Structure 1
């Protein structure tokens, strides 16, 4: 786990109140749903979503459809030389993959990781989370990424998180941590039988002020650190 900076004012889950951020937990209006979400400091590690399905957030208004800002180029993952990985701070094009070491608890392996698109959402997508004024003036962006097992270790049930958005000026976007299933941006553990050659997709939610955009993404999981990770633009 990397050090977490908490200098930016943001929202956090009640369990993270000690960080000093304004705290809020949002619940879906639908009593049958278990969705919750909260805007969190831009530097906070993402919370893994629950594996069990639950009700999704509301559909975006027809007048503001989601607009992709990037798309997968179809470029195959470029194998890294044995024992090496792209240096921290390396910038790739959206759609390009990098082969990097990966660890989750005691499980260690190798993955090919690519941000495939950054999709602009609509504030209405988050209506069911009851964020209220806490999300006023913020627009959600969905960072879609692809994970491929490029090593010999079975990575079943591990999670590839530590993906965050970058605003147009290069600063960190706020994260939206979701507990439950959010149909607009699913983030689940890797499936059973995730062996060499298997691929899965995941998603992270970044929040941007209306006056800006989320135009890039950074992966800062091991062996990288926050602010010195792999970037996609």
Structure 2
């Protein structure tokens, strides 16, 4: 995996989900093995540009910040599939620690609170994006540092991760969700970053 200046965060949980830390702008897939978490404080805060204006029909730029509910038009690529999408973080919802009980994570999730970053994808280009996956959505804590990801292999009804359906042509919309873990009930996930190609982690586009 191509590494950035941000530390890898994560543990693998066999057959269920992974606490993910892949910093890979070319990896559009789901599961896989993540590395051990770094020492506390090793990850640097992401710094979205508070002064970046919202896109008004144009293409969003790296570092640009949007309000939750506001769409950002961006180029999209997944393997050989390329197109243009309007991506919108629609909400960031706090869950309960008990939401994860079914996965028997034990100490890996002890004291941590899940947040659900919900977003929509609209095809605004001319390419059929059937079966592509629009991932690389990350929750950020109040101080701008990365929240820990949960990457599911099995189905999680509270936060379904959806690939784009067959016939995903111009005008069609799909919803999806990403899970982020806050380290305690006193810390909140307050914003989100999309860092898929052509962006990179810490230099993506933001919603808050």
TM range (shorter): 0.7 to 0.9
RMSD: 2.1
The match for 1:7 is 7
Query: Quick one: distance in 1 between partners of 2:60 and 2:75?
Result: 10
SS, match of residue 73 in structure 2: strand
* 1:75-96 Cα deviation digits (max 9, x unpaired): xx9421xxxx222111100000
Query: Is 1:43–1:172's contact at 8 Å kept on the other side of the alignment?
Result: no
Following TM superposition, where does structure 1 have runs of at least 4 consecutive aligned residues deviating by more than 6 angstroms? none
Partner Cα separation in structure 2 for residue 205 and residue 39 of structure 1: 10
Contact map agreement 1:42 1:173 (CA 8 A) in 2: no
What TM-score, normalized to structure 2?
Answer: 0.81
Cα displacement (A) at 1:47: 5.0
Q: Post-superposition shift, 1:181?
A: 1.0
Question: In the alignment, which residue of structure 2 is the partner of 1:223?
Answer: 198
Q: Secondary structure at the match of 2:122?
A: strand
Q: Deviations over 1:76-117 (max 9, x none)?
A: x9421xxxx222111100000011100010011000000000
Residue 169 in structure 1 maps to residue 143 in structure 2 = yes
1:178 maps to what in 2? 152
Shift of 1:37: 1.6
Correspondence for 1:37? 17
Aligned residue pair count: 182
Matched, 1:149 2:118: no
- Closer, same or farther: CA 93–6 of 1 in aligned 2, 3 Å: closer
Summarize the alignment of residues 1-233 of structure 1 with structure 2, pairs less than 5 Å apart.
3=3, 7=7, 10-13=9-12, 24-25=13-14, 36-41=16-21, 43=23, 48=30, 78-80=56-58, 85-210=59-184, 211-233=186-208
Following superposition, the deviation at residue 41 of structure 1 comes to: 2.8
In 2: Cα distance, 1:107 partner to 1:93 partner: 28
How far is 1:150 from its partner? 0.4
Could you tell me which runs of 5 or more consecutive residues in structure 2 were left unpaired when the two chains were aligned: 32-54
Asked whether the equivalents of residues 65 and 205 of structure 2 are also in contact (C-alpha less than 8 Å), the reply is: yes
Q: CA deviation at 1:38?
A: 2.7
Q: Report the secondary structure of 2:101's partner residue.
A: helix
The verdict on how the C-alpha distance between 1:47 and 1:135 changes in structure 2, with shifts beyond 3 A counting, is farther
- Residues 90 and 78 of structure 1: CA distance in aligned 2, closer, same or farther (over 3 Å): same
- What residue in structure 1 maps to residue 42 of structure 2? none
Q: Which is greater in Rg?
A: 1
Distance 1:46 1:127 in 2: 27
Verify the 8 A CA contact 2:120 2:176 in the aligned structure 1. Answer: yes
| Equivalent position SS for 2:160 | coil
